[in-house]
Amino acid sequence: MSTRIPLVFGAAVFGEPNTNTTRIHSLSEAQDVVDVVVSHGHKAFDTSRFYGYGSSEEFLGKLDLKGSVVDTKVYPGEPGSFGPEQLRAVFHQSLRALDPHKIRTFYLHFPDRHENPVSFEDTLREINEFHKAGHIQQFGLCNFFSWEVSEFVAIAKANGWIQPTVYQGLYNVVERSVEAELIPCLRKYGIKFYAYNPLAGGLLVAKRHTGTSLNYAPGSRWDPKASSLAPWLHQRYQPVLPLLRDLKLILEKYNIDMSEAAHRWLQHHSALEPEDAVLLGASNVTQVEWNLKSCERGPLPGDIVKLLDEAWINTKAQMPYYASM
């Protein structure tokens, strides 16, 4: 069954054990996930050279994606990462890892915030060469401020280079700061918006919290003893716990799961348009099926939407701005 907003499966979970982001460590299980995603009519997969320290891309290269497209990213881990030589080297690592699959969209995963960052012009000049060589179809940005998006567009137009046509950003029912400034900017330039983190790092799963504190499984991304991401998650989402307690009580009256409500809000009540997309994640086949079916369901009851809107108004002052990572 189709969805109003297209879905892209986030393959960050694929890869070797004991590497960042990965949860599915066997090719057979990864193939099962791919098969389920494709069976629901979705044929796009998202990865990054950063995920699994490259092993996410390598897994995808070994899987039968049934003719799906692949998007990948480069991460500015070291000073100069977006310079022409380093960018070229990492890009060709991605090409080799993903072979035989072609790259649809090549993203800059995060802005270069190092001291003396590489200029946008030098970075874009090299990416334009990738496009001229036929290695990529689209160029995209992730986690940049709107004024930086405008600068990339201006540089591309001035030089006749490939322009950014996709932006991947953090957006969900409890994090909507992209709506005020970023999304209008993207619409002005005809740039599609792909929303990642639809469940707020898993927070919008009822078992994740009690209403006053967070529950997490040992070894999960929320476990401070196991994940470098955990402190960031706890700090970021602590302010919304009271809201989630109230939301859970309302949803129980309708027999709607919290994660389902989050997916349905993005599909039917958010600022997304049918040319945009949602990045969907899962760490096993059961979760994939649940998330896909949740996205396929219709709009939410009006009082739930009203509660969600009021909750955002009451908490947005405490939530980080969209590109403040």
Is residue 243 in a domain?
Answer: no
Query: How many domains are there within the chain?
Result: 1
Q: Please, which residues have CB within 8 angstroms of residue 222's CB and are 6 or more apart in sequence?
A: 201, 202, 208, 214, 216, 230, 233, 234
Is residue 223 in a domain?
Answer: no
pTM as predicted? 0.94
On average, the pLDDT of the chain sits at 93
Residue 203 pLDDT grade (very low, low, confident, very high; cuts 50, 70, 90): confident
51 is catalytic: yes
d(CA 18, CA 15): 9
Q: Please, which residues have CB within 8 angstroms of residue 140's CB and are 6 or more apart in sequence?
A: 71, 73, 105, 106, 107, 108, 164, 165, 166, 167, 168, 194
Is residue 286 in a domain?
Answer: yes
Please identify which of the residues 51, 171, 196, 237 carries the catalytic annotation: 51
d(CA 260, CA 279): 15
Is residue 304 in a domain?
Answer: no
pLDDT tens readout for residues 38-82? 999 999 999 999 999 999 999 999 999 999 999 999 999 999 999
- Domain membership of residue 167 as a residue range: 7-209+256-299
* pLDDT the model gives residue 223: 75
pLDDT tens readout for residues 207-260? 655 555 666 767 667 777 767 677 877 778 877 777 788 888 889 999 999 999
* pLDDT the model gives residue 215: 67
* pLDDT the model gives residue 319: 85
Here the CATH number for the domain that contains residue 88 is 3.20.20.100
Is residue 318 in a domain?
Answer: no
Is residue 103 in a domain?
Answer: yes
Is residue 251 in a domain?
Answer: no
Is residue 36 in a domain?
Answer: yes
